[in-house]
Structure formats: C-alpha cells, structure tokens
Amino acid sequence: MTYDAQGVLIPFDFGRILEQLPTLRNLFLEITVMSFDQPIDSSNIEPAHWKLIGEIIYDNYKQQDGFVVLHGTDTMAFTASAISFMLPGLGKPVIFTGAQLPISEPRSDARENLITSLEIASATQQGKPVVPEVCIYFDYVLLRGNRSKKVESMHFDAFKSENYPSLATAGVKIDYNYSAIRQREEKELGLLTRFSSDVSVLKLFPGIDSRTVEAILHTKEVKAIILETFGSGNAPSAPWFIAALKKAIERGILILNISQCPGGMVVQGKYETSRSLSEIGVISGADMTLEAAVTKLMLLLGEYGVEEAREKISIPWAGELT
C-alpha cells in the first residue's frame, strides 16, 4: 500500500517497485515485474484474481526460476492456499509476501520481506529449487502457504502456522528446514481454474439458535458448508441441531468440520459431542486451516462437483493436511 493525497492507504502500483527499491538491482537477478492494470486492496480479492495469478505463473513457468507474489496481508493466506491447489505438479517456488507498513514508511517491513523472498525464490541446490512449493514469507519466517493464517494486525509477525513447522528462518543466513519442505514433483505442471462460490461457513458459538443455523443450511445454491466447531471438532448435541445438519446432508450438502482453534485438529468421536457428527455424515477436516478448507472446497466443487468433492476433500493435495 501507499498513501494518497488525503493520507488514506491505497493499493501500490507494483510496476514502480524498482523505483521504490533500487537495491533490487544489486541482487544480480533477472527480475521480470508484472502488475495488474488496476491494483486492488486484498480485501477485494475474488476467485477471478486467483485465476489470473495462476495463469500468469502457468504461462511463464518455463521461463522463470521462481515467482514472488506481492499481496495484501488480509487475504494472503486464502490466495496462497488457492494457488497451491490450482497448480498440481508445481516444482518451483511461489513465494507470497507483503508488508504491515507501507513501503514508503521509513520503518516499513516491505524491503526485507521482498528482498528475502526474491532470494528464496531463486535459491537452488544441485541445480534444483530449494523450496518447490507455494509459501508465505513474512517477518524472517517462511511458512507453507496453505498452512498459514494471519494472526496479527499490529505487529510485524503477521502470520503463523500452528500445525506445521516453518520451512526456513532468515537471519544472517537463511536456515532451511529441509525435512519440512515438500519434495519437488517430477511431473508436468497443471492448472485448475474453475471455482464455485457455493460455499458457506457456519461458525458455532454458545447460544446459537435454530434460526441462525437454518438460515445458513438453507442458503440458496449452497453446495458445501464449513462447520467451524469448538476444540477438537465438538458441537452442540441438541437434537434440533443434529437433525438440521442431518437433513442438510440428506439434501446432498457437503458439511466439513473445521476447528475454530488455530492449532490442533478435528478428531470426530473423541468426545461425545462430536460422535453424532460422524454418525450423520459430517466430514472431518483434520488439521486444515479455514483458508485452505474454503479454497480447496471452492476448487473441488468448480472442477468436479459435490460427489467428487466429498471423496477428495480429505485427501492431501498440496501438504495442507496431515
């Protein structure tokens, strides 16, 4: 972001990045800069933008050693997750990064984030990319993109990955955690771009009533619902609640159980309050983040439909679940 004449933060034209960071010329890299015609705030990101980013990577894949995507922090984890699912066979780095402070600010974290992201995206070992997957680099830490969540709006350490270790830590040198990095896929790159927005999220809270639940379950055209549950996948055991979920499943709606906790995982049946969910056909989302669950479901529904989505949602695609 940058400031307009009224002091309001607006999207920054990435095409001017070399003007703002002339030190990029000292990296001895051939950098190709591509910018959207109309930069947007990341809160306005939609599947159409994911498609465009995916197509840019796909179309330039053979010519480039790696990719750095500059993106607003608010929805970065959603976009990184989506791109990780869109590019089966990915064998090169795609590093998402951004900043908590505008690049024009003296204390901006944009410079370090971008420069180190470029170094990671171009890093090779024995002629092969060191990190051949979609990642988020922020505040000296490299995380798997589809395992990340934005957890902080006022400090520089904006992202965390509670259920998967960091892939690298940047200090005087970049220390890679090789055991956590995905192996390079020795197959041709694919591209999936059909997303369905027929997904809804039902976040549980104490005292939730039937009107709220029924409103979500009967949303027009909805094909899949992510049920954000307590702890390890627990939900109210009230008869009306279980009955409502069961009727929705019988109508063909896919219901996926994701924990509200940033760490840990859904284990349906561990407690009595989640046993009924398994019995009526709610699918466990294991340790997927909400961001990964939303984007994966949208892509599965768009590419394959509800029945295949039901079969594939629990199968790891890009290291998003254990």
Q: What is the pLDDT of residues 93-102, one digit of tens each?
A: 999 998 887 7
Higher pLDDT, 47 or 9: 47
pLDDT value of position 192:
98
Going by pLDDT thresholds of 50, 70 and 90, the confidence category of residue 26 is confident
Which residue in the block uniquely carries the two structure tokens 């990915």? 90
- For β-strands 168-170 and 174-176, DSSP reports them as antiparallel
Q: Check whether 165 has a pLDDT greater than 90.
A: yes
In angstroms, what CA-CA distances link 273 with 187, 208, 227, 231, 299? 44, 15, 14, 11, 30
Closest to 81 (Cα-Cα) out of 266, 322, 297, 256: 297
Beta strand residue intervals within the chain, DSSP E: 2-3, 9-10, 67-70, 94-97, 124-125, 128-129, 134-138, 141-144, 149-150, 159-160, 168-170, 174-176, 199-203, 224-229, 254-259, 283-284
Topology match between the domains 2-180 and 199-312: yes
What is the structure's pLDDT at 137? 97
With H, G, I as helix, E, B as strand and everything else as coil, classify residue 229: strand
- How many alpha carbons lie under 13 Å from residue 14 in its C-beta half-sphere? 20
pLDDT at 8: 73
Q: Which fold has domain 2-180?
A: Rossmann fold (3.40.50)
pLDDT in tens, 39-95: 888 999 999 999 999 999 999 999 999 999 999 999 999 999 999 999 999 999 999
Buried b (16+ CB within 10 A) or exposed e, 212-226: ebeebbeeeebbbbb
Distances (CA, A) of 274 to 60, 92, 209, 232: 46, 40, 18, 8
Following DSSP, what letter does each residue of 1-49 receive, concatenated? -EE-TTS-EE---GGGHHHH-GGGGGG---------SS---GGG--HHH
Q: Is the pLDDT of residue 281 over 80?
A: yes
What Cα–Cα distance (Å) separates residue 206 from each residue in 46, 229, 230, 234? 31, 11, 10, 12
Q: What is the pTM assigned to this prediction?
A: 0.92
Whether the per-residue pLDDT at 18 is higher than 70: the answer is no
Mean of the per-residue pLDDT values of the chain? 92
Q: What are the residue ranges spanned by the domains of the chain?
A: 2-180, 199-312
At 10 the pLDDT is 65
Identify which has the larger pLDDT, 275 or 287.
Answer: 287
Q: What is the per-residue pLDDT for 132? A: 97
C-alpha–C-alpha distance, residues 175 and 132, integer Å: 16
Q: Which residue has the higher pLDDT, 15 or 225?
A: 225
Judge: domain 199-312, CATH 3.40.50.2000: no
Contact (Cβ atoms closer than 8 angstroms) between residue 112 and residue 87: no
The pairing of beta strand 134-138 with beta strand 94-97: parallel
Q: Give pLDDT, residue 13.
A: 62
**In one letter, which amino acid is 279?**
E
Asked whether the predicted pLDDT for residue 12 surpasses 70, the reply is no
